[in-house]
Amino acid sequence: MNPAAKRMLLVSSMLTLAATNAEAALVTNVLGPYSWHTDSANFTVLSPNGGVVGSGANDVIMIWDGSAYNSSTDYTGPGSTANITLSTTTPFFSYAWTAHDVQMFAPGTYSFDTTLGGGTAESAMLSVTVGTGQLGMHMLWDWNGNFNVDVFIVFSQNSIFGSGLLFSAEPSCSSNFTGTITQNCLDDSPGYGTDGAPTTNQLWMLASTDPDGDGVMGVPNALGGPTESYNYSINANLTASPIPIPAAAWLFGSGLMGLAGVAHRKKKTT
């Protein structure tokens, strides 16, 4: 092997080991060595009957570092480690909402104790399976004086959300429709991020799906909360940014290469 390539391989191995030791339950570079972001993620809420509730948002700012947890033990309630931020200026039923302690999860089965949040009378465990090729996201949601509502979303990659139909174009999409409700429509309410309004049958890089097979996109929220049995969905087309190597890592790598160089010269002299 070329000596320079050998030294770079050594540096790479050491950096990977350091990252693994720092966060044992974290899988890095899930979709490549990138972080991801958008200001146009979609927020859709469906009632248990599959109809759209209230008004969603299409200006959700989503920033993800590209890693994923593979153990729900990293969630310990408010103040847990997090690797995603979500924010919007669009209210839900006239009240602002915020999401925090947001974690992306790799394929696997996860259980969350909903009583750990405190402040909201949720009960029991929230258990979800994230299938092969999917990603999961757990967050705590604050709205209208209700705090730390547990929400879990399972994403399929490069998929259409639900029926592919838009809430504004189909009156039967509403949860209050008196006839047969068209389930799983996408809420296309304003405001909009830079991507503008969603379109019919839009393909999403990450599209919320129906992991429990009840016919409604999303995972029903835990019993006892303010949105008990309602289904929350985030859909997003994300843009990639290369993950920069921290300055400390470059210095660490330079030191390793320097030691490798000294060893090589010493061996050559011998």
What is the rounded CA–CA span in Å between residue 183 and residue 45? 11
Query: Tens digit of pLDDT for each residue in 68-92?
Result: 999 998 899 999 999 999 999 999 9
Give yes or no for a contact between 189 and 57, defined as CB atoms under 8 angstroms apart: yes
Tokens encoding 260: 């490798």
Residues 10-65 pLDDT 10s: 333 333 333 333 444 899 999 999 999 999 999 999 999 999 998 899 999 999 99
Supply the mean pLDDT for the chain: 86
- Whole-prediction pTM: 0.82
Task: Kindly state the tokens that stand for 202.
Answer: 């839009």
Give the CA radius of gyration of the chain.
22
Instruction: Yes or no: say if 140 and 78 are a contact pair by the CB < 8 Å rule.
Output: yes
Which pLDDT score, from 0 to 100, does residue 191 have?
92
pLDDT score at 120: 80
Q: Is 84 exposed, middle or buried (0-12, 13-18, 19+ CB in 10 A)?
A: buried
**What does DSSP say about strands 34-46 and 57-64: parallel, antiparallel, or unpaired?**
antiparallel
